[in-house]
Structure 1
Amino acid sequence: MADLEDAEVTSKRRIAIIVVSGFFLVSMVVALTVGAGIDKGFHLNPFSDKRGSSIDKSASTKAIKAICQPTDYKQECLSSLTSAAGNTTDQIQLIKIGFQATMKQIYEGTKKSNLLQKLEKDPRTSMALDTCKELMELAVDELRQSFNRVGDIENFSKYKTFIMDLKVWLSASITYQESCLDAFENTTSSTDAGLEMKTLLKTSMRLSSNGLAMVSQIFSALTDLNNPDPSGRRRLLSLDGLPILGHGDLEFPEWYEAGVRKLLTISTAPAPKANKPNAVVAKDGSGSYKTISEALEHVPKYGNETFVIYIKEGVYNESVRVNRSMTNVMMIGDGTNKTRITGNQNFVDGTPTYRTATVAIHGDHFMAMDIGFENSAGPEKHQAVALRVSADEAIFYKCSMDGYQDTLYTHTHRQFYHDCTISGTIDFVFGDAAAIFQNCTFVVRKPLPDQSCIVTAQGRKERRQPSAIVIQNSTITADPDYFPVKNVNKAYLGRPWKEYSRTIIMESYIDDVIQPEGWLPWAGQWGLRTCFYTEFRNTGPAANKARRVTWQGIKQITRRQAAQFTPGKFFRGDEWIKLSGVPYVPGLTTNRQSKNATTNRSVLRGF
Structure 2
Amino acid sequence: MSIIYMLFVTLSLHNICSSMAVTSSSEAVLITVDQSGNGDYKTIQAAINAVASNNSQLVYISIKPGTYREKIIVPVDKPCITLSGIEGSNTTVTWNDGGDIFDSPTLSVMASDFVARYLTIRNEYGMRGKGIALRVSADRAAFYGCRIESYQDSLLDDFGRHYYYNCYIEGATDFICGNAASLFESCQLNSLAKNLGTITAQHRNSPLENTGFTFLGCKITGSDGGTVLGRPWGPFSRVIFAHTYMSNAVSPDGWRDWDDPSKERTVYYGEYKCYGPGADRSKRVGWSRELSRDESAPFVNMTMIGGRSWLRPTPTRFKKHVKKNE
Paired position in structure 1 for 2:105: 357
CA deviations on 1:229-271 (whole Å, 9 max, x unpaired) are xxxxxxxxxxxxxxxxxxxxxxxx65333235443356xxxxx
1:524 equivalent among 240, 248, 260: 260
Provide the secondary structure at the position in 1 that maps to 2:35: coil
TM-score (norm 1): 0.50
Amino acid at match of 1:474: C
Q: Which structure 2 residue ranges, 5 or more long, are not aligned?
A: 319-326
1:342 matched to 2:94: yes
2:31 equivalent among 279, 282, 288: 279
Amino acid at match of 2:281: K
Q: Structure 1 CA distance, aligned partners of 2:30 and 2:19?
A: 19
User: Structure 1 539/363 Cα, relative in aligned 2: closer, same or farther at 3 Å?
Assistant: same
1:368 matched to 2:130: no
Whether contact under 8 Å (1:260, 1:580) holds in the other structure is: no
User: Structure 1 262/333 Cα, relative in aligned 2: closer, same or farther at 3 Å?
Assistant: farther
Q: Which structure 1 residue ranges, 5 or more long, are not aligned?
A: 1-133, 150-164, 166-252, 267-276, 582-602
Q: Structure 2 CA distance, aligned partners of 1:537 and 1:401?
A: 26
2:205 equivalent among 461, 477, 486: 461
User: Structure 1 446/309 Cα, relative in aligned 2: closer, same or farther at 3 Å?
Assistant: same
User: Structure 1 145/296 Cα, relative in aligned 2: closer, same or farther at 3 Å?
Assistant: closer
Paired position in structure 2 for 1:580: 313
Provide the secondary structure at the position in 1 that maps to 2:270: strand
Q: Structure 1 CA distance, aligned partners of 2:141 and 2:41?
A: 24
Amino acid at match of 2:300: T
Sequence identity percentage: 28
TM-score (norm 2): 0.91
Whether contact under 8 Å (2:133, 2:154) holds in the other structure is: yes
Q: Structure 2 CA distance, aligned partners of 1:286 and 1:470?
A: 41
CA deviations on 1:294-352 (whole Å, 9 max, x unpaired) are 111111222222111011111111110001001000011021111100011112xxxx1
User: Structure 1 436/518 Cα, relative in aligned 2: closer, same or farther at 3 Å?
Assistant: same
Q: Structure 1 CA distance, aligned partners of 2:193 and 2:260?
A: 25
User: Structure 1 446/517 Cα, relative in aligned 2: closer, same or farther at 3 Å?
Assistant: closer
User: Structure 1 410/285 Cα, relative in aligned 2: closer, same or farther at 3 Å?
Assistant: same
Whether contact under 8 Å (1:493, 1:518) holds in the other structure is: yes
Provide the secondary structure at the position in 1 that maps to 2:7: helix
Whether contact under 8 Å (2:61, 2:83) holds in the other structure is: yes
Provide the secondary structure at the position in 2 that maps to 1:354: coil
1:432 matched to 2:184: no
Provide the secondary structure at the position in 1 that maps to 2:269: strand
Paired position in structure 2 for 1:600: none
User: Structure 1 402/260 Cα, relative in aligned 2: closer, same or farther at 3 Å?
Assistant: farther
**Shift in Å at residue 522 of structure 1?**
0.9
Q: Structure 1 CA distance, aligned partners of 2:113 and 2:96?
A: 27
Amino acid at match of 1:463: P
Which of the pair has the greater relative contact order for Cα pairs under 8 Å at 6+ separation? Answer: 2
Provide the secondary structure at the position in 2 that maps to 1:353: coil
Whether contact under 8 Å (1:259, 1:304) holds in the other structure is: no
User: Structure 1 605/532 Cα, relative in aligned 2: closer, same or farther at 3 Å?
Assistant: farther
Provide the secondary structure at the position in 1 that maps to 2:182: strand
Q: Structure 1 CA distance, aligned partners of 2:145 and 2:26?
A: 18
Structure with higher strand content: 2
2:299 equivalent among 553, 558, 565: 565
Paired position in structure 2 for 1:407: 154
Paired position in structure 1 for 2:321: none
User: Structure 1 428/568 Cα, relative in aligned 2: closer, same or farther at 3 Å?
Assistant: same
Paired position in structure 2 for 1:514: 250
How do 1:79-228 residues align onto structure 2 when only pairs under 5 Å count?
137-142=2-7
Q: Structure 2 CA distance, aligned partners of 1:342 and 1:322?
A: 15
1:471 matched to 2:218: no
1:310 matched to 2:62: yes
Amino acid at match of 2:166: D
Q: Structure 2 CA distance, aligned partners of 1:140 and 1:556?
A: 42
1:420 equivalent among 167, 170, 179: 167
Q: Structure 2 CA distance, aligned partners of 1:260 and 1:358?
A: 31
Paired position in structure 1 for 2:143: 396
Paired position in structure 2 for 1:377: 125
**Shift in Å at residue 605 of structure 1?**
11
What is the aligned residue count?
318
**Shift in Å at residue 527 of structure 1?**
1.7
Structure with higher helix content: 1
1:534 matched to 2:270: yes
Q: Structure 1 CA distance, aligned partners of 2:257 and 2:290?
A: 19
**Shift in Å at residue 604 of structure 1?**
6.2
Q: Structure 2 CA distance, aligned partners of 1:319 and 1:550?
A: 43
Provide the secondary structure at the position in 1 that maps to 2:103: helix
Whether contact under 8 Å (2:183, 2:302) holds in the other structure is: no
1:255 matched to 2:17: yes
Amino acid at match of 2:208: R
Whether contact under 8 Å (2:10, 2:112) holds in the other structure is: no
Q: Structure 2 CA distance, aligned partners of 1:567 and 1:139?
A: 32
Paired position in structure 2 for 1:162: none
Task: Give the structure with higher Rg (CA).
Answer: 1
**Shift in Å at residue 571 of structure 1?**
2.2
Provide the secondary structure at the position in 2 that maps to 1:437: strand
Amino acid at match of 1:536: Y
Provide the secondary structure at the position in 2 that maps to 1:384: coil
User: Structure 1 605/474 Cα, relative in aligned 2: closer, same or farther at 3 Å?
Assistant: farther
Provide the secondary structure at the position in 2 that maps to 1:296: helix
Q: Structure 2 CA distance, aligned partners of 1:423 and 1:559?
A: 29
User: Structure 1 145/345 Cα, relative in aligned 2: closer, same or farther at 3 Å?
Assistant: closer
Q: Structure 2 CA distance, aligned partners of 1:605 and 1:443?
A: 36
RMSD, aligned α-carbons? 2.2
Q: Structure 1 CA distance, aligned partners of 2:112 and 2:215?
A: 22
Amino acid at match of 2:269: Y
Q: Structure 2 CA distance, aligned partners of 1:526 and 1:318?
A: 42
Paired position in structure 1 for 2:322: none
